[in-house]
Amino acid sequence: MNKKSKLYRKDIREAIATALSKGVSIDAACEFSGVHHSTYYNQQNWLNQKLGNNWQDYLYDHEDYKDENLDENVIEALEFFESIKKALAVCKVELVAKIRNSDAWQSTAWLLERRWPEEFGRQRLEPPEQKFELNMENAHTIVGQILELFSAIPTERLKEIGDRPTAKYKEANE
C-alpha cells in the first residue's frame, strides 16, 4: 500500500464510527463520511494479505505483537478497525438498553428469543415422517376402516348425500 488510506483521517474515522454507532450499515456509514465503501473493503482485503484472514485476532492486542514488527500502516489499519468494532458494540448496547427499557412485553420476549434461542426461541415442531405405502395387504385394512366410518352415518343421510349429484356429474350426464 503506497499511500495512506482516507480511513485513517481522524474526521473520517469519527464520522464512520458515529454513523455505525447509530445503527447504519457499513456502506451507509462510508457514504455518510464521504468515502466509497470499496475503500473500506479494500482495507480489509489488504489486512487479509498482510496478516492473514485472522487479522481480527490482532484487534485490541496489536501492542502485544510488537515482536512481529508490524509496520505503521498495519497498526493504523488495526486501530481504525478497532474503532469500528467499538462503534458497533456501542450500537448494540444502546439498542439492547432500549429494548430492556420498553414497557412492551414483546420487547422482552424478542430479546429472550434472540439472546437465548435454544431456550426461548420458537420451536418448530416437524410432524413425524410417516411412510405410507398402499398395497393389497393394507388396502383391505384401509377399505375396512372407510366402511366402518360410513356405517356410523345413518342410511337416510347417505341417501340424501347420494341423491345430490355434483355439478360436474349433472353436466356430464345431461
DSSP string, 21-88: HTT--HHHHHHHHT--HHHHHHHHHHHHHHH-TTGGGGTTTGGGGGGG---HHHHHHHHHHHHHHHHH
User: What's the pTM value of the predicted model, to 2 decimals?
Assistant: 0.59
Per-residue pLDDT of the chain (174 residues; tens, 9 = 90+): 446 788 888 999 999 999 999 999 999 999 999 999 999 999 989 988 888 877 777 776 656 555 567 788 888 888 889 899 999 999 989 988 998 898 998 988 888 888 888 888 887 777 767 666 777 777 778 888 888 887 888 877 777 777 665 555 556 555
